[in-house]
Amino acid sequence: MTITQGEAIVNNVEKAKRFFSDYKNLMNCIPGVKEVNGNNFKAYVKFSFLTIEIKGIVKKHEVNGDNIDTLITINGNKIKWTTNYEVDGPLANSLRKHIDAQANEISRQIIECSISKINQ
């Protein structure tokens, strides 16, 4: 499992808590998302000269005060986030460096989209 993480600032902490309390808000910020069905999603992302389909699932989403699934923590007006992802298969393993860079970029885009919606 690979982890990406970062921090962002929000203008309205209560609005951030409401936004992150519903995982569908995050799913709708996934670049290229084409389908959301319950906690499953399908998205199409550019990878070099290819467009590939990715499928994902929200495995756990709990809200406990300022901690949301312990992957998003709200501290004052600062949001700390962490994402986990897995890549498997021979092709994926040979392209790991590129996949890691793309996963970092997608995670950053999801958080930027979320912060933009919160700060509106």
pLDDT tens figures, 45-77: 877 787 888 777 776 665 566 555 546 777 888
**CA pair distance 50, 48, nearest whole angstrom:** 6
Task: Give pTM, 2 decimals.
Answer: 0.75
Most confident of 9-13, 81-85, 89-93: 9-13
**CA pair distance 108, 114, nearest whole angstrom:** 10
Q: Does the structure show a pLDDT above 90 at 116? A: yes
pLDDT digits (tens, 9 = 90+) for 8-27: 999 999 999 899 888 888 88
> What pLDDT score was predicted for residue 74?
76
Where do the domains of the chain lie? 2-30+61-118
Q: What percent of the chain has pLDDT over 70?
A: 88
